């Protein structure tokens, strides 16, 4: 298992990967989409696709989680050039936080300006239902409290400044556009806004942990997304985030419910087309 003391990746390592991808395809995406558990179908909507398995890309980690295909998919969606990650990387897989976020800086070097992050999450807010789509307005970076921040170590000014602001991590204009798009699509009954909390995983949360997170102001909890958002904002990218509420967090000691990954994937399958349509229609509006 790696630790926060793991060395940072060098600019040359990011550039080597970016140069390889630039030589591999002539497609030049301005939008990158990271697909969460069971949400890789977003990439299937792309036209004029180029598929690149992670194992072929120099320096790229490998995705090991069920529900993550492990490939980059280039293509066009609603007039926008995009690249989709079908499968992300997680701290709990044993990767250092610099490897979890490695693709984000590569995307920056490819010319990506907007990052869309999606994830499957447990609902902490009692008003949320399984199958709701939560537009992320803010996050709680619990691993970051313990020093697991992808920006730890020497700062490279070629990517961004030493102390990036996070009070504007999620782009308000994109969030507003997404809310309007959801209303136009008739999705108002299952669209929410809220605060996403990241924990390290891979174990699901205890009841006491869920109660604590709820009192801290979290509406949903998961095991990803936040490190990528931190890295993207450091690079100056606009960020938009979506959580699919795939299960209700257990917050009652008398409950017989148990969180499990199979339920997560099943719910993702149920709501995936709605989420895909929302992202597709939103892309059409992005300048």
**Which residues does the annotation mark as catalytic?**
37, 68, 90, 92-93, 120, 223-224, 247, 261
Q: Which helix (H) or strand (E) holds 123?
A: strand 114-123
As a whole number of angstroms, the distance between CA 93 and CA 115 comes to: 23
Q: Which helix (H) or strand (E) holds 47?
A: strand 47-53
Q: Where are the alpha helices (DSSP H) in the chain?
A: 11-24, 97-100, 102-110, 142-145, 172-184, 207-216, 226-234, 261-285
* 8, burial (CB in 10 Å: exposed 0-12, middle 13-18, buried 19+): middle
As a whole number of angstroms, the distance between CA 113 and CA 134 comes to: 23
Q: Which helix (H) or strand (E) holds 86?
A: strand 80-86
As a whole number of angstroms, the distance between CA 243 and CA 220 comes to: 8
CB-based contact 180:135 (threshold 8 Å): no
As a whole number of angstroms, the distance between CA 65 and CA 35 comes to: 12
As a whole number of angstroms, the distance between CA 122 and CA 204 comes to: 9
């Amino acid at each position: 298992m790696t630790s926060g003391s793991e060395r940072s990746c060098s600019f040359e390592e990011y550039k080597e990967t970016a140069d390889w991808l630039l030589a591999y395809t002539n497609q030049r995406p301005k939008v990158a989409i990271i697909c969460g558990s069971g949400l890789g179908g977003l990439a299937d909507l792309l036209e004029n696709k180029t598929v690149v398995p992670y194992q072929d890309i120099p320096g790229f980690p490998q995705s090991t989680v069920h529900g993550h295909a492990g490939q980059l998919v280039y293509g066009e969606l609603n007039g926008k050039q995009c690249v989709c990650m079908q499968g992300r990387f997680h701290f709990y897989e044993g990767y250092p936080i610099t490897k979890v976020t490695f693709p984000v800086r590569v995307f920056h070097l490819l010319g990506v300006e907007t990052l869309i992050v999606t994830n499957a999450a447990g609902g902490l807010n009692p008003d949320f239902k399984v199958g709701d789509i939560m537009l992320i307005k803010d996050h709680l970076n619990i691993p970051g409290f313990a020093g697991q921040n992808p920006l730890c170590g020497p700062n490279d000014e070629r990517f961004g400044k030493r102390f990036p602001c996070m009070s504007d991590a999620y782009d308000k204009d994109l969030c507003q556009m997404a809310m309007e798009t959801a209303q136009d699509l008739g999705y108002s009954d299952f669209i929410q806004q809220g605060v996403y909390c990241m924990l390290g995983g891979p174990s699901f949360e205890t009841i006491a942990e869920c109660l604590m997170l709820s009192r801290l102001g979290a509406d949903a909890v998961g095991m990803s997304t936040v490190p990528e958002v931190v890295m993207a904002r450091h690079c100056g990218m606009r960020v938009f985030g979506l959580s699919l509420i795939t299960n209700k967090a257990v917050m009652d000691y008398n409950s017989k419910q148990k969180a499990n990954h199979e339920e997560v994937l099943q719910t993702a399958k149920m709501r995936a087309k709605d989420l895909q349509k929302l992202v597709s229609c939103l892309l059409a509006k992005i300048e």
